[in-house]
A = this chain, B = another copy of it.
Amino acid sequence: MSSAPLICTPAALASAGPALKAAVLAEALPYLRRYSGQTILVKYGGHAMGGGSGDGDTFARDIAFLKQVGIHPIVVHGGGPQINHMLQRLGIKSSFVNGLRVTDQATLEVVEMVLCGTINKQLAAEINAAGGRAIGISGKDGGLIRARRLTRNGELGFVGEPEEIDRRVLDTFRQSDIIPVIAPLGVDAGGATYNINADTVAGAIAAAVKATRFLLLTDVPGVLDDNKELVPELTAAEARSLIASGVVTGGMTPKVETCLDAVAGGVEAAVIVDGRVPHAILLELFTEGGAGTLIRGG
C-alpha cells in the first residue's frame, strides 16, 4: 500500500509529461491482462453520488474505461439520501428498524421512482457521457432478481432479499458493449415489488456471475484495526474474527458480512473501497496502490 497521496490534482496531471503518461500506460499491462474478460461488480453508494468533488465523473470514466479494455463491469447503486429527500417533499414519514427502512406501499412507490427514475438514469447517462454504452435497469427488469419478503428483522413491509438471480440478461449484455446499471429492487413470484438493500443485491449478483472483484464503494477509508489504522487485506477468517472481537462495528459490520457472503459465493475477492477518492476503481484494479480493504476467500 503506497503512502503517496490518493488524490491527483488537475495541476499534477497537467504537469505530468507525455513521457510519464506513456510509461504509466505501459505499466498497467499486467493488470489489464489479469482482468481481461473478467467481470467486476461495482456497488456505487448514494452517499458518494451526492459529493461535490466530481467523483461521479471519475466513477463514470472508470467504468467506461473497464469495458473499453475488455473487462466487464456491472454497476449496482443505492440512493438513500435522494429517497429521503423526496419522501420529505411528499410529506411521507419514514422509519427504520435495524437500519432497514420500513417500506409501506406509498414509500415503496417513492423508493422505486427515485431509484429507477432519477439515480439509475443519471448514473447511466454519466457513463454514456464518458463514452460507455450503459443501460439503466432495475432488478425487476428481465426477471433479474427474484425476491422474497425479508422477515427476520420484524415487520418491514415491502423490504425483500434476493431469492434467486437470473443472470441471462447480464449474459446478453456481456457479449455486447452494454454496461448494466442496476437499481436494487426485486419482484416475488406473485408480482409484488420489494425494496432491497443495495449492498446485498450487489453481493448476490457478484456471486451469481462469479465476479473476479466485488468493489463495495463507501465513504470511509475501509476496515480499521484496533489502532484505527487501515487494514489493506484480510482473509475471510480474519474478517470474521474482527467482527467477533468487536474491532469491526457499526455500519462496517454488514458491509464486511456482505463481502464475506460474496466471497463464499464464489467471488475471488471483495474490496471495501473508499469511493470518495477520485478514480478509486482504476486505483484499486490497475495500480499497486488501493484505497480500502480487500477480503479474500479462505
A245 sits at the interface (CB 8 A) = no
Q: Convert A13-47 into 0s and 1s, putting 1 for each residue whose CB lies closer than 8 angstroms to a CB of B.
A: 10011111111111111101100100000000000
Q: Is there contact, CB below 8 Å, between A137 and B134?
A: no
Q: Is there contact, CB below 8 Å, between A124 and B136?
A: no
Which of B28, B29, B286 sits near A130, CB closer than 8 Å? B29
Q: Is there contact, CB below 8 Å, between A135 and B133?
A: no
Q: Is there contact, CB below 8 Å, between A134 and B141?
A: yes
**Which of A17, A187, A277 has the most chain B CB atoms closer than 10 A to its own CB?**
A17
A166 to chain B, nearest CB (A): 9
**Nearest residue in B to A65 (C-beta to C-beta)?**
B29
**Nearest residue in B to A69 (C-beta to C-beta)?**
B69
A235 to chain B, nearest CB (A): 24
Q: Is there contact, CB below 8 Å, between B29 and A8?
A: no
Residues of B near A115 (CB, < 8 A) are 117
Separation of A141 and B132 alpha carbons in the complex (Å)? 10
A12 to chain B, nearest CB (A): 6
Stretch at the interface among A56-64, A196-204, A211-219, A262-270: A56-64
A191 sits at the interface (CB 8 A) = yes
A178 to chain B, nearest CB (A): 6
Which of B21, B124, B193 sits near A27, CB closer than 8 Å? B21
Separation of A141 and B121 alpha carbons in the complex (Å)? 7
Main SS of the interface on chain A?
Answer: helix
**Nearest residue in B to A288 (C-beta to C-beta)?**
B18
Residues of B near A168 (CB, < 8 A) are 133
A6 sits at the interface (CB 8 A) = yes
Q: Is there contact, CB below 8 Å, between A117 and B125?
A: no
A5 sits at the interface (CB 8 A) = yes
Which of B68, B133, B172 sits near A32, CB closer than 8 Å? B68
A283 sits at the interface (CB 8 A) = yes
A195 sits at the interface (CB 8 A) = no
Q: Is there contact, CB below 8 Å, between A24 and B29?
A: no
Q: Is there contact, CB below 8 Å, between A18 and B30?
A: no
A289 sits at the interface (CB 8 A) = yes
A248 sits at the interface (CB 8 A) = no
Please give me the 8 A-B residue pairs with the lowest Cβ-Cβ distance, nearest first. Answer: A117-B117, A4-B17, A18-B289, A22-B279, A113-B117, A18-B287, A8-B19, A22-B282
Residues of A within 8 A of B (CB): 2, 4-8, 12-13, 16-30, 32-33, 36, 58, 61-62, 64-65, 68-70, 89-90, 109, 112-118, 120-121, 124-125, 128-131, 133-138, 140-143, 168-169, 172-173, 176, 178, 185, 187, 191, 193, 277-279, 282-283, 286-290
